[in-house]
Structure formats: structure tokens, C-alpha cells
């Protein structure tokens, strides 16, 4: 029985995009072995060069040979964008696009966008080669074109080519068929004497297009893969190769004979090579054989392999994880005055295969493979629409005899399309609005008053008072947070009624604020989710809300308890799933923590920490997935990632409830392990979130660079993914560690630090006070992306990304909604 795994599952959007692209490829192919270029060019979205620099990039097209329409697109970053002196030289990327030798061009939008990111993010000069397509021009025209571009640049025939380009540090980068071309051009470059100044020192092949007559395991398993099916690849090989050649041709099966290994072994300057393999690619076995062939070559160069979304177990494979370890100006040596682009490598370590670093690599490339062909959807739909419109505008179609029948057919077709859109397209989740609770002014408490009341209560010994005093001084909490005074009553034992009273005050208070902000009718609420970690009553707190507001008998309600400060994001995730089950409904989410039920009156210092940090607060959210919800809503939910480290004993026991020696219950926070456990949870979460939100250039930079054991892991620039970050305001020390690990600026951390100072740790509602701060300062603009990160017992780290649908004007005179920060200002 075969041990091969089934084909990897693909999201429905990806299947749709690939299917449409496959239809386009099939439609443009003629039976006589040619391609309908007019139709293909109509559906291929291309980008014209801008007249002025864009984001510091100067982009121009350079003609090499007009007789064969050979040209390249040049991307030159300005010295302002590279943050270096104008005298510094920059490396050169020679990029060769994919498309099975037959499709696309250097002007295709997908590849143009990619080259712009290369140039902008990596501070390199990019040359994107536009070669002639098959089947009109067969082998070796494509190789000749790419190599001629190198010689054209070497010969300095282009006055527009930047003088600060460092030709001694050129990288050949190829995608798919471009990877095949890049290899053969690298071989020519290593053989020739015509390239004296230009040196190809690196070769990056992204899912290179190799093959052979033999049918490999991956080709058989993925023979009907969407778009890159075996039937289509065979057709493309036939269109590319000389008449009468098969797939064992040296252009296809590079290491099909020992002569190929000997040929490369004889080369003195074959570049270091990084081969990136896709787990969804039927040609992955040929890509692996190419890598293994390079390893057999006895040269000074080194071959590296990166896997993306592997679909089968591989017991013995060398995995290399890349990292740019240095990027600055060289002060001495052969590259003095140049912007460095040095790389180092760490070979595969067995347990590294299960680490989050490799997980990041896999998820990053899975995302690229999964979403990289979305751009094909639009041109195909335009093509289909054009065909339909052409039929609709025909005279015969609208003739008097046919007008009634055809009008009815057209309306029916449009109705079917509308129905399919409404019923089949997944609904987005929208945040209509939210509100935060502002306790009464008489509940404000300063650090000095906290210690005074704690001492007067008689509930703590001198050591406990001194401990809380020390913690408060370094907590980052100011003198205007809120606490219920019942916790300081002398000799008082906090009861369930104290918790109920506080819960009623904050929960009903924040819901009233939300009603004021949104004008919602409580009878429209069909889903209710309330999370509170420490107070769990019978009936539940959610039942208390249903009873108070007399909500409908058919309401779907949940009460989440014991899930810590990360429960707010969990509640949003649950609301999203319930809205999908009840489309078009409204969901009310309430996040709070009842301080009096979590308060500890004892002598155990590790159980006194929560007293110093937790403060009164609550947040209420109104969510919907109505198709037209974006007209009214303020934010759209883009991504939500939940990470749970409960399988690890240290993480599980880091924060927990227990009884002390006097049978007094309290929350234990193991401060010795908290930062370590929280850091691991954050690392796992952010590496999962990164590929979903980071620009492709930042992901590629993470992958292409190489790890060294003594080198700190490169941290992707998350500032490129979000305009604002709201980190749960737990403590000053935790916020400092998050800021340091994610390399966030003070501007990104301002909302978190200000919230901690003003309101303290309000548990799961803290991230909403932070968003309210950004709105109060008019920081939120239409299109901004906001990332909220929350931590909780278990141990959990959850993140959620919102996209602003409106420019916030709260601080500019709009006082029609309640914001705790604006009330404070008034």
C-alpha cells in the first residue's frame, strides 16, 4: 500500500484563482501549438513605468536590442531610501520572471511589484529581464536574451545605469522558468571571459522549472495539480525545446548525465546557490535532484535548500535557514564603501525541524504560494465579462424577436451570480463600534493611597505591605487607576455579593456606553459572549445581562471563565464563528475582570502581585458580518491567530489559582518564569501571524538570509505590516520586553504604556482602552492596520488584526460617542 500522502489541501480562494488561471492558460493555447498572444496580452495586467520616482524608487525601461524586442526594467533606490551616503555602492539583482517560458513579461504587475519590493526593502538595484517567449522563440533564445543583458550592462552601453551599482556583487534570481534560465546563465557567466567587472556571486532559484522523461513520485502524486499540472508542463516543454527533443534535454534535465556534474565541477566561479522548493509543486522532486546534483559538484560554491509547505516526510535532508546578518557600509577590504549584503549559514539541526523558526519559513512560503496567483483572477474575470458584453451588444441579441427571451435570460443569469456571491462568498466580520468603561471618580486611587488603605485594612503584614509598595513603584501604573474600596475594608471577607455588585456596575455601565455610541437596539442582539476570568456565578454573568436587558429567548449566549487576559480575543474569535453560523446577525461581546473576586488578603508574596496590577475596567464590542456592514462599521477583522502553550508544564503552571497555607484563595503569578513563557508564546504566535500580514519582500529577506549559531535571529520588520500596535498593558517590564523583541518604536508602544499608566492592567479589556487612546489622539486613518496582542494564563498569546474603515475624527470635535480618554481630557 502506498505511503504517499494525499495532495495538500488548498483554501477555496486559492483553488478558484488557480482554476481561473488554468482556464486562461488553456484558452490561450491553440491546437497548432501556438499561443493567442492578443488574448493573452488583453488579460495580462501590466504596469507602466511611473514618470516620477515612487517611494524613492526610480524605474525606467532600457532597450537592449530593438530588433528582437529585448529590454529590461531597471529599479534604482535613491540614497534617501537606503539610509546611506550617496557614495555607497549597492548590490545588483538580475531578476528573471517565470511563466513556463511562454507567459508574462517584466512589465507584468505581479513581477513588477515583486521587483519594487526587492529594491525598496533590500536596498539593491534590480534589473528585471524581459526575454522572448516560446513557442515563437524556442531554446536557446531565452538564455541568449538573459545573458545578453549581462553583457550589455558589462559593456556600459546604458548611460542610465546607476554609477553606484556594484557589479562585483551580482545575484541571479529566477522564479519558475526564470530559475531554469538563471541556472544556465550562471553557467555561461562562469565560463566566459567577457564578464570582467560583473561577478555573479549568488544564485537564488524559486521553484525552478526542471524536469525529465522519468515520472517522479511528486509528478504522479500531483499530476492534476491546479495550474501546474503535468499535462500543461509537458506542453510548455514541447513549446520551448527544439523540434524532436525530449525532456531529457540538458536544458530540462540539468544533471541527467555525469557530464553535467563534471562541467560544473570544472567551473572556477560557479556561485553559491539557494534552491527554494514548493510542497505544492509537481516538479519538487526535480528541484531536489538539482540541489543534490550541485552537492555532487566539487566546487568552492555551496548549495542551500529551503522547503516551503512540504507534503511528505523526508528523513534525510539538509535544511538551511537564511538570515541577513549584516547590512551596513564596509569600511575596509575589497568592498570598502559598499553597502554590505553578507550572509552566513547554519546547517540543519535535527530538533530545528520542529522549531517555530522553520514553522515561520514554511508558513511564509505557503502563504506566498497560496496567494501569489490571486492577480490572475481579475484579468480572467475581465476577459469573461468582455466576452459576455460583446454578446450583449450584438444586434441579433437585442432584436425584436429575441428581446423578451434574452432579457429574461440576462436577468436570470445576473440573479444567479448575485445569489452565488451572497451565499458562497465568505462574509467579513466587522466591528461596528466599541466602548470602554470609565469608573466613577471616587474610585480613583494613587499608589500612596493604595499603600495607606492596605496598611489600614489590617489584611497584610509588614512584609506584604513593603512588597506591594516596591512593586507599585516599578509597575508603570500611575496615580489615577480605579479600585473598588470594598477590597480595603478592615477585617472584611470578600463575598460573592461583592463580586456581583462590581460585575453589575462595570458590565451594565460599559453596555450603556456602547448603546450610546452605536444607537443599537438590544432586541437586535442575537449573540452574546461575556468573558470574565475570576468570577463565575450561577446563573452566569451572561444570564445576568440577558435578564437585565430582557434579551430575546432565542439569543445564543456564552460565558467564558478562567481564560485570563487573552480571553477578549478568544471571545471575538467565537463571535466570528457564531456569526458565520448566523449570518447577518449582531453579536455583543463584553470583556472584563472583577477585581474584588481576584483580590488576595494574605501573606504569600507571589499571590500579592495581581493586587498591584489589576484594576477595574471593561469593554463592550458590537460585531456583525452583514454584507453591507462596512458602510456602518469602524473596523474590519483581517486576521486572528491564537496560540496555546498548555502542553508545556512550565507554561501551564505559570499563572494559576490556589489556596495559601491559611486556605485563602488567590492568583499565583510565577514572575521568574513569566517573561520566558510569555516570550515563547509570543514567538510562536508572531511567527504564525507574520506570513499572513508581512510584505512578501520581508518574508523573502527572512528566508534568503542564513543563520549563524552566534548570530541573533533576524526579526522581520513588523512596522511594515501595521500602522499601530496595542500590546496588553500587563506591566512595565513586560511591555519593555515586547518592545525590545519586536523592535518597536516608542510611537508604537505609546498607547500600551499610556493605558498602563492611566488605567492599570484591566485584563482582557486593556487592548480596547489602547485603541480608544489612539482614536482620542486622532491617530487612526482610513486603511490603517491595527494589531492587538494579548497574553493570558494557560499560557496563551492571541493576536488580532483590524483594518480601519474610517478616518477617526473623535478628537477633532465629534463628541457624540463616549471615549474614556476624551472624558478625561474634558
Residue positions annotated with a catalytic role: 565, 644, 724, 761
Peptide bond into 539 cis (omega under 30): yes
290 with 242: CB under 8 angstroms? no
Dihedrals phi, psi of 472, to nearest 5 degrees = -60, -40
Q: Are strands 272-278 and 165-175 parallel, antiparallel or unpaired?
A: unpaired
Residue 375 to residue 227: CA distance in whole angstroms: 14
Beta bridge partners of 151: none
Radius of gyration of the chain (CA): 31
Which H or E element spans position 85?
A: none
Grid coordinates in use for 529? 459572549
User: Within 13 Å and on the Cβ side, how many CA atoms surround 162?
Assistant: 26
| Nearest C-alpha neighbor of 284 from the set 10, 19, 7 | 7
| Burial (CB count within 10 angstroms: exposed 0-12, middle 13-18, buried 19+), residue 610 | buried
| Burial (CB count within 10 angstroms: exposed 0-12, middle 13-18, buried 19+), residue 251 | buried
In the 3-class helix/strand/coil scheme, how is 8-70 assigned residue by residue? Answer: CCCCHHHHHHHHHHHHHHHHHECCCCCECHHHHHHHCCECCCCCCCECCEEEEEEEEEHHHCE
776 with 607: CB under 8 angstroms? no
| Nearest C-alpha neighbor of 574 from the set 539, 621, 633, 610 | 621
Count H helices and E strands in the chain, helices first. 27, 23
Question: Residue with C-alpha cell 436587558?
Answer: 549
Cβ-proximal residues to 505 (8 Å cutoff; 6+ apart), any chain = 439
C-beta neighbour count of 27 within 10 angstroms: 15
Say how many residues make up the chain.
Answer: 826
Cβ-proximal residues to 550 (8 Å cutoff; 6+ apart), any chain = 522
Residue 753 to residue 767: CA distance in whole angstroms: 11
Dihedral class, residue 356 (left if φ above 0, else alpha if ψ from -120 to 50, else beta): alpha
127 with 202: CB under 8 angstroms? no
Cα–Cα distances in angstroms (integers) from residue 551 to residues 314, 526, 578, 662, in the given order: 56, 8, 17, 43
Residue 577 to residue 585: CA distance in whole angstroms: 12
User: Within 13 Å and on the Cβ side, how many CA atoms surround 388?
Assistant: 11
Residue 63 to residue 135: CA distance in whole angstroms: 22
| Long-range CB contacts for residues 535-544, cutoff 8 Å, separation at least 24 | 535/499, 535/500, 535/503, 535/561, 535/594, 535/597, 535/598, 536/561, 536/562, 537/496, 537/499, 537/500, 537/503, 541/503, 541/507, 544/500, 544/503, 544/504, 544/507
DSSP one-letter string for 633-684: -SEEEEEEEEEE-TTSHHHHTSEEEEE-TTS-EEEEE-HHHHHHHHHHHHHH
797 with 790: CB under 8 angstroms? yes
Grid coordinates in use for 130? 524581459
109 with 375: CB under 8 angstroms? yes
SS3 percent helix, strand, coil of the chain, rounded to 5, is 45, 20, 40
Amino acid at each position: 500500500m502506498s505511503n504517499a500522502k494525499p495532495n495538500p489541501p488548498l483554501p477555496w480562494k486559492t483553488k478558484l484563482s488557480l482554476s481561473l488561471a488554468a482556464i486562461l492558460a488553456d484558452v490561450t493555447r491553440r491546437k497548432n501549438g501556438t499561443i493567442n498572444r492578443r488574448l493573452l496580452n488583453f488579460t495580462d495586467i501590466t504596469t507602466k513605468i511611473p514618470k516620477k520616482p515612487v517611494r524613492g524608487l526610480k524605474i525606467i525601461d532600457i532597450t537592449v536590442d530593438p530588433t528582437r524586442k529585448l529590454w529590461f526594467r531597471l529599479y534604482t533606490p535613491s540614497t534617501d531610501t537606503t539610509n546611506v551616503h550617496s557614495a555607497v555602492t549597492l548590490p545588483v539583482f538580475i531578476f528573471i520572471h517565470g511563466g513556463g517560458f511562454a507567459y508574462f513579461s517584466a512589465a507584468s504587475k505581479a513581477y513588477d511589484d515583486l521587483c519594487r519590493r526587492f529594491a525598496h526593502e533590500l536596498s539593491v538595484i534590480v534589473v528585471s529581464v524581459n526575454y522572448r517567449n516560446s513557442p515563437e522563440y524556442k531554446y536557446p533564445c531565452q538564455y541568449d536574451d538573459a545573458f545578453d543583458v549581462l553583457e550589455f550592462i558589462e559593456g556600459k552601453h546604458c548611460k542610465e545605469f546607476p554609477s553606484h551599482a556594484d557589479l562585483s556583487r551580482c545575484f541571479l534570481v529566477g522564479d519558475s522558468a526564470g530559475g531554469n534560465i538563471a541556472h544556465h546563465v550562471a553557467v555561461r557567466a562562469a565560463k566566459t571571459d567577457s564578464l570582467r567587472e560583473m561577478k555573479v556571486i549568488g544564485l537564488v532559484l524559486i521553484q525552478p522549472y526542471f524536469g525529465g522523461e522519468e515520472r517522479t513520485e511528486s509528478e504522479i502524486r500531483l499530476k492534476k495539480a491546479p495550474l501546474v499540472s503535468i499535462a500543461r508542463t509537458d506542453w510548455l516543454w514541447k513549446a520551448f525545446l527544439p523540434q524532436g527533443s525530449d525532456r531529457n534535454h540538458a536544458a530540462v534535465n540539468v544533471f541527467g548525465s555525469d557530464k553535467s556534474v563534471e562541467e560544473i565541477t570544472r567551473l572556477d566561479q560557479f556561485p553559491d546557490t539557494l534552491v527554494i522548493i514548493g510542497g505544492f509543486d509537481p516538479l519538487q522532486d526535480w528541484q531536489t535532484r538539482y540541489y543534490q546534483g550541485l552537492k555532487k559538484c566539487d566546487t568552492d560554491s555551496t548549495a542551500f535548500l529551503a522547503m516551503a509547505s512540504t507534503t511528505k516526510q523526508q528523513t534525510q535532508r539538509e535544511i538551511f535557514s537564511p538570515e541577513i546578518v549584516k547590512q551596513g557600509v564596509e569600511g575596509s577590504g575589497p568592498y570598502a564603501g559598499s553597502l554590505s549584503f553578507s550572509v552566513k549559514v547554519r546547517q540543519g539541526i535535527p530538533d530545528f525541524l520542529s522549531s517555530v523558526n522553520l514553522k515561520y519559513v514554511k508558513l511564509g512560503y505557503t502563504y506566498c504560494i497560496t496567494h501569489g496567483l490571486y492577480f490572475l483572477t481579475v484579468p480572467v474575470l475581465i476577459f469573461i465579462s468582455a466576452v459576455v458584453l460583446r454578446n450583449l451588444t450584438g444586434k441579433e441579441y437585442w432584436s425584436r424577436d429575441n428581446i423578451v427571451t434574452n432579457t429574461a435570460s440576462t436577468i436570470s443569469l445576473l440573479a444567479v451570480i448575485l445569489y452565488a456571491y451572497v451565499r458562497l462568498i465568505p462574509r467579513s466580520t466587522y466591528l461596528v463600534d466599541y466602548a470602554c468603561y470609565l469608573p466613577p471618580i471616587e474610585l480613583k486611587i494613587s499608589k500612596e493611597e493604595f499603600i495607606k488603605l492596605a496598611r489600614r485594612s489590617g489584611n497584610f503584614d509588614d512584609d506584604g505591605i513593603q512588597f506591594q509598595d516596591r512593586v507599585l513603584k516599578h509597575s508603570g501604573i500611575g496615580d489615577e487607576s480605579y479600585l473598588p474600596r470594598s477590597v480595603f475594608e478592615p477585617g472584611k471577607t470578600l463575598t460573592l455579593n461583592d463580586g456581583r455588585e462590581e460585575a453589575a456596575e462595570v458590565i451594565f455601565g460599559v453596555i450603556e456606553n456602547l448603546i450610546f455610541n452605536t444607537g443599537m437596539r438590544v432586541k437586535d442582539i442575537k449573540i452574546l459572549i461575556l468573558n470574565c476570568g475570576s468570577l463565575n456565578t450561577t446563573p452566569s454573568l451572561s444570564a445576568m445581562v440577558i435578564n437585565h436587558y430582557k434579551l430575546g429567548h432565542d439569543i445564543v449566549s456564552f460565558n467564558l471563565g478562567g481564560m485570563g487576559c487573552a480571553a477578549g480575543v478568544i471571545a471575538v474569535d467565537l463571535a466570528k464563528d457564531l456569526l458565520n453560523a448566523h449570518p447577518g446577525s449582531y453579536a455583543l461581546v463584553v470583556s472584563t475582570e472583577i477585581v474584588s473576586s481576584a483580590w488576595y488578603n494574605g501573606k504569600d508574596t507571589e499571590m500579592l502581585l495581581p493586587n498591584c496590577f489589576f484594576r477595574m475596567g471593561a469593554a463592550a464590542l458590537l460585531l456583525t458580518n452583514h454584507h453591507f456592514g462596512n458602510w456602518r462599521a469602524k473596523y474590519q477583522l483581517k486576521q486572528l491567530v491564537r496560540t496555546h502553550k498548555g502542553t508545556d508544564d512550565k507554561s501551564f503552571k505559570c499563572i494559576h489559582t490556589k489556596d495559601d497555607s491559611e486556605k485563602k484563595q488567590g492568583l499565583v503569578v510565577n514572575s521568574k518564569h513569566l517573561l520566558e513563557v510569555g516570550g515563547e508564546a509570543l514567538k510562536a504566535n508572531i511567527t504564525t501571524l507574520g506570513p499572513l500580514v508581512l510584505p512578501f519582500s520581508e518574508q523573502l529577506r527572512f528566508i534568503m538570509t542564513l543563520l549563524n549559531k552566534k548570530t541573533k535571529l533576524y526579526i522581520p520588520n513588523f512596522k511594515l505590516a501595521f500602522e499601530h500596535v496595542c500590546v496588553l498593558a500587563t506591566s512595565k517590564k513586560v511591555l519593555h520586553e515586547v518592545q525590545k523583541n519586536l523592535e518597536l518604536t516608542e510611537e508604537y508602544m505609546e498607547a500600551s504604556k499610556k493605558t498602563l499608566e492611566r488605567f492599570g492592567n484591566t485584563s482582557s479589556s486593556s487592548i480596547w482602552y489602547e485603541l480608544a487612546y489612539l482614536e482620542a489622539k486622532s491617530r487612526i486613518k482610513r486603511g490603517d492596520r491595527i494589531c492587538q496582542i494579548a497574553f493570558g494564563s494557560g499560557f496563551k498569546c492571541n493576536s488580532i488584526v483590524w483594518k480601519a474603515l474610517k478616518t477617526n475624527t473623535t478628537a477633532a470635535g465629534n463628541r457624540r460617542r463616549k471615549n474614556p480618554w476624551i472624558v478625561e481630557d474634558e
